[in-house]
Amino acid sequence: MAFEGLADRLQGTIKKITGKGKVSEQDVKEMTREVRLALLEADVNFKVVKQLIARIKERAVGQEVMESLTPGQQVIKVVKDELTNLMGGEQSKIAVADRSPTVIMMVGLQGAGKTTTTGKLANHLRKKHNRNPLLVACDVYRPAAIQQLETLGTQLDMPVFSLGTEANPVDIANQAIAQAKENHNDYVIIDTAGRLHVDENLMEELQKIKTDVKPDEIFLVVDSMTGQDAVNVAESFNEQLDITGVVLTKLDGDTRGGAALSIKAVTDKPIKFAGMGEKLDQLEAFHPERMASRILG
Ligand code: GDP
């Protein structure tokens, strides 16, 4: 299970302090030291850990805790609040364009789960928001990727726009949007090309699509299993494309949690969704508070 090690350690730390009728600065010091180690071991970015611990410390020795009747529990609440804030606080919504269709561009490295997430997101928009999306195959370098999207379209019984591997991605995107207008598809989800590593050619192509198409959302799909790499990837994509949100995939695996806990702080972009399995209905809106509760037990 994801976050297992982190959850175990934090819950152990919490147990020690929960029942305390009095919490001394020494208790807070010990608790924050353990929380710090647990977070670092879960591969959370060290700068993020430093800031988080400073905030927890400040609040934990402050009035709200020291003057509380249940200081032990109050300390835990502080840790939970701060973990929630770290992951973005409020749950963040998906954009709706003033004029239909709303255009979402999916970006990310190969293997992160971009194409699968494109299908999952379309399914989510239809099921939860009663929308009628068009999927667009803009990965012109890999015929297998186009095929994969077409298969997803068939499984979902949703239209897929493709011009094969010969056309230019900007043209494909523009023609897809024109078709969506004609056929009353209210969302257009563009599956772009991925590479094994962040590279200039890829970024240039994505920037061209962005400049021309002006998407309402740019979602970066990252694999939560890759830990700090996921955070670095998110930083580069955000610098180059000014993404609007992140989808964290493979949270059903045994990820240590570093990516989930660092990405918002490092990029200042919200985690919008979490991939919880390979199936098309295994995408969940990301709720920072629920995630913090899951980690703290
Ligand atoms: P792309 O290269 O980024 O388009 O990646 P794909 O969509 O082809 O996904 C790569 C692999 O990751 C596939 O085997 C997917 O089934 C798998 N995958 C994607 N999302 C998830 C997820 O949330 N959980 C799990 N367990 N597997 C996922």
- 62 assigned ligand-binding residue: no
- 192 assigned ligand-binding residue: yes
For residue 253, which phi and psi values (nearest 5 degrees)?
A: -80, -170
Mutation probe of ligand 1 site: the residue of 219, 249, 271, 281 with most atoms within 8 A of C-beta? 249
Which pLDDT belongs to residue 70? 85
Write the pLDDT tens digit of every residue in 125-137.
999 999 999 999 9
| Euclidean distance between CA atoms 176 and 97, whole angstroms | 16
Write the pLDDT tens digit of every residue in 89-147.
887 789 999 999 999 999 999 999 999 999 999 999 999 999 999 999 999 999 999 99
DSSP category for residue 224: G
Mutation probe of ligand 1 site: the residue of 278, 279, 282, 283 with most atoms within 8 A of C-beta? 278
Atom 27 (ligand 1) nearest CA: 278
Contact in structure between 87 and 260 (CB atoms under 8 Å)? yes
User: Which tokens belong to 70?
Assistant: 């249940």
Which pLDDT belongs to residue 24? 87
What would the 3-class secondary structure string for 139-179 be?
A: CCCCHHHHHHHHHHHHHHCCCEECECECCCHHHHHHHHHHH
Query: Is the beta carbon of 284 within 6 A of some atom in ligand 1?
Result: no
Rounded distance from Cα 97 to ligand 1 centre (Å): 28
Side chain identity at residue 53, one-letter code: I
Contact in structure between 84 and 288 (CB atoms under 8 Å)? yes
Query: Is the beta carbon of 120 within 6 A of some atom in ligand 1?
Result: no
Which pLDDT belongs to residue 209? 98
- pLDDT 10s per residue in the chain (297 long)? 688 899 999 988 888 888 787 888 898 899 999 999 999 999 999 999 999 999 999 998 887 877 888 888 888 899 999 999 999 988 778 999 999 999 999 999 999 999 999 999 999 999 999 999 999 999 999 999 999 999 999 999 999 999 999 999 999 999 999 999 999 999 999 999 999 888 999 999 999 999 999 999 999 999 999 989 999 999 999 999 999 999 999 999 988 889 999 999 999 999 999 999 999 999 999 999 999 998 888
- For the chain, what is the radius of gyration of the CA atoms? 21
- 116 assigned ligand-binding residue: no
Q: How far is CA 236 from CA 1, 67, 69, 266, in A?
A: 28, 45, 46, 11
* Cβ neighbour number for residue 295 with a 10 Å cutoff: 24
| Euclidean distance between CA atoms 262 and 179, whole angstroms | 39
| Euclidean distance between CA atoms 267 and 269, whole angstroms | 5
Which pLDDT belongs to residue 134? 98
| Diameter of the chain measured on Cα atoms | 70
Query: Is the beta carbon of 111 within 6 A of some atom in ligand 1?
Result: yes
Which pLDDT belongs to residue 45? 93
What percentage of the chain exceeds 90 in pLDDT? 77
Query: Is the beta carbon of 249 within 6 A of some atom in ligand 1?
Result: yes
| Euclidean distance between CA atoms 171 and 167, whole angstroms | 7
Helix (H) or strand (E) holding 4: helix 4-18
Contact in structure between 176 and 164 (CB atoms under 8 Å)? no
Which pLDDT belongs to residue 23? 83
Which pLDDT belongs to residue 264? 95
| Euclidean distance between CA atoms 108 and 12, whole angstroms | 36
| Euclidean distance between CA atoms 142 and 140, whole angstroms | 6
| Euclidean distance between CA atoms 241 and 41, whole angstroms | 31
Query: Is the beta carbon of 175 within 6 A of some atom in ligand 1?
Result: no
| Euclidean distance between CA atoms 226 and 203, whole angstroms | 20
Q: What are the residues facing 249 on neighbouring strands?
A: 223
Atom 26 (ligand 1) nearest CA: 277
Name the pTM for this structure: 0.94
